[in-house]
Amino acid sequence: MKSLQRFLIVGLRESNAGKTTVARSLIIYLREKGVKACGFKPKAGNNIWYNYNIVYEALNHGRLYGEGSKLLKEASGGDLPEELINPIHRLWAIPPHNLKQNVHLPFFIVDRVTLWSRKVKEIVVVNDSLPFRYGREKLVAKLYKPNRKIIHIKTLKELNKIVDMFYDKAVELAHRKIAEGHDALVYESYADIALPWKGITDLDLVLAVHPGYIQAYDPDKYLSALNLSSSLLQEEKTQKVISVLKPVKTVKIPPYTSKEIIDGVKRKLRLILEGK
């Protein structure tokens, strides 16, 4: 049985590092080589203020997904739903500038968690602790479908209980389903987190992305460094993990137009993958 190829894309900036662009380029590169590759983004999020077009599009169909998941779907062949490529999606808010109360919960509006068991189950976790609404009830009303489990939370303890019960399970089930039908998986992390899911234990290559360059790292050394620096209390940052590593290759990425960027990044990835 042919083993599954696994690639990890991580960011060196909290936002706009270029992870999705590199992930898409790698998926397309692999598929052009005859490898049945698919993107997988275990956790993702959109901010209602910065990403409203895609939020509006998704909610209008009673769904919740982001631009990154949509682009990964298209690169992967377009026949998989965004909820499979991205089983956990969070809709973020922004705290008011004059907020004085101590808010212990993350500042999010709602989480969508999809469990890909024999019968697909969706859970909608609604944050009732926000000191404002943004018309939330109307905004997420289309998510409140009879076949979905709606859970309202107000405290960090309540959220952690739901996370422990469902979140890792959702990622594991989605991962298993995608892996069964593909030759290669391209994992995309979120923000500048070094590992998007603790279930990733075997990799063929790690690519760290920053505007202007991509750094390739030995996967075994990367995972070893991650294990040494990991804390049970927080998700480790990519920069901390690679601070003790030397990249096996670095390629520079110039600015590209939107029409040029995928082909341009594919050419740069060829330098890493083929040594040309």
When pLDDT is cut at 50, 70 and 90, the band that residue 1 belongs to is very low
2 or 27, greater pLDDT: 27
| Confidence (pTM) | 0.92
**Percent of the chain with pLDDT strictly greater than 70:** 93
- Cα–Cα distance measured from residue 78 to residue 65, given in angstroms and rounded to the nearest whole number: 15
Q: What is the mean pLDDT of residues 28-45?
A: 96
Please report, for the chain, the start and end positions of each structural domain, with discontinuous segments joined by +. 1-36+183-276, 42-182
What span, in angstroms and rounded, lies between the C-alpha atoms of 123 and 89? 11
Predicted confidence (pLDDT) at residue 232 exceeds the cutoff of 60: no
| CATH (residue range 1-36+183-276) | 3.40.50
Which 3 state secondary structure label does DSSP give 142? helix
3-state secondary structure of 214: strand
Instruction: Convert the pLDDT of each residue in 209-231 to its tens digit.
Output: 999 999 999 999 999 999 887 76
- Cα(155)–Cα(144) distance, rounded to whole angstroms? 21
Give the mean pLDDT of the chain.
90
When pLDDT is cut at 50, 70 and 90, the band that residue 134 belongs to is low
pLDDT digits (tens, 9 = 90+) for 74-88: 999 978 999 999 999
Joined together, the tokens standing for residue 215 give 């750094």
Partners of 45 in beta bridges: 90
Q: Is the pLDDT of residue 236 over 60?
A: yes
**Does residue 45 carry a pLDDT above 70?**
yes
2 has pLDDT over 60: no
Strands 121-127 and 108-115: antiparallel
% the chain with pLDDT above 90: 73
* Residue 133 in this model has a pLDDT that exceeds 80: no
Cα–Cα distance measured from residue 229 to residue 237, given in angstroms and rounded to the nearest whole number: 10
